[in-house]
């Protein structure tokens, strides 16, 4: 899904648009499967009882609460979290009811780092760390293909025509 063009500047283009890595949905999926299995087992267990309809309603209500709270919450959070790299800035948008966002102009970025442990490397995710001009470094967790995103961001920073440093130009000859 492309990022809405009406939120971009006139000469701004999306370079990459990502949701968090699917690994953040692993445990909610496990909980969903366990909840369905436990609910089916308990429903079968009480099926021969005279009060089975009440038990089925209670089992269904508890399963529904667990699924909404532990499964749908993270799924909606995953779906409504956007990491967008454009030709002018890095944007992060999160939330449904309360929407938060951060924009970091390319000209304000001092350094870009990434970090990923063994598990992150196995699933292809990691943490992107962006240090801007006057703020503490910002860490964005669960970025898919973090090394690729890191290299794209680094390339965009160094290709900025308004930047004081241009690769291939010497400091003395460039004014």
DSSP 117: -
Q: How is the chain split into domains, by residue range?
A: 10-19+83-158, 25-77
pTM over 0.85: no
Selection from 77, 92, 80 nearest residue 153 by Cα: 92
Q: What is the pLDDT of residues 86-104, one digit of tens each?
A: 999 999 999 888 999 999 9
Cα distance between residue 79 and residue 143, in whole Å: 13
Q: Is the pLDDT score of 165 beyond 70? A: no
* pLDDT value at residue 122: 93
The average confidence (pLDDT) of the chain is 86
CATH number of 10-19+83-158: 2.30.29.30
Task: Give me the percent of the chain exceeding a pLDDT of 90.
Answer: 67
**The pairing of beta strand 138-144 with beta strand 125-132:** antiparallel
For residue 103, what are the β-bridge partners? 91
Q: What is the pLDDT of residues 21-30, one digit of tens each?
A: 999 999 999 9
């Amino acid at each position: 899904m492309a990022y809405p063009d009406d939120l971009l500047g006139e000469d701004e283009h999306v370079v990459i648009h990502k949701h968090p890595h699917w690994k953040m949905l692993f445990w909610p999926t496990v909980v969903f499967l366990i909840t369905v299995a436990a609910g089916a087992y308990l429903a079968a267990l009480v099926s021969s009882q005279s009060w089975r309809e009440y038990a089925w309603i209670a089992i269904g209500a508890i399963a529904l609460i667990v699924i909404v709270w532990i499964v749908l919450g993270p799924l909606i959070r995953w779906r409504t979290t956007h990491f967008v790299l454009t030709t002018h800035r890095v944007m992060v948008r999160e939330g449904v009811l309360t929407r938060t966002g951060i924009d970091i102009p390319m000209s304000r970025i001092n350094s870009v780092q990434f970090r990923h442990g063994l598990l992150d490397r196995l699933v292809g995710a990691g943490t992107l760390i962006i240090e801007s001009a006057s703020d503490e470094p910002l860490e964005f967790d669960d970025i898919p293909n973090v090394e690729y995103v890191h290299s794209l961001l680094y390339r965009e920073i160094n290709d900025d025509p308004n930047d004081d440093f241009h690769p291939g130009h010497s400091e003395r000859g460039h004014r």
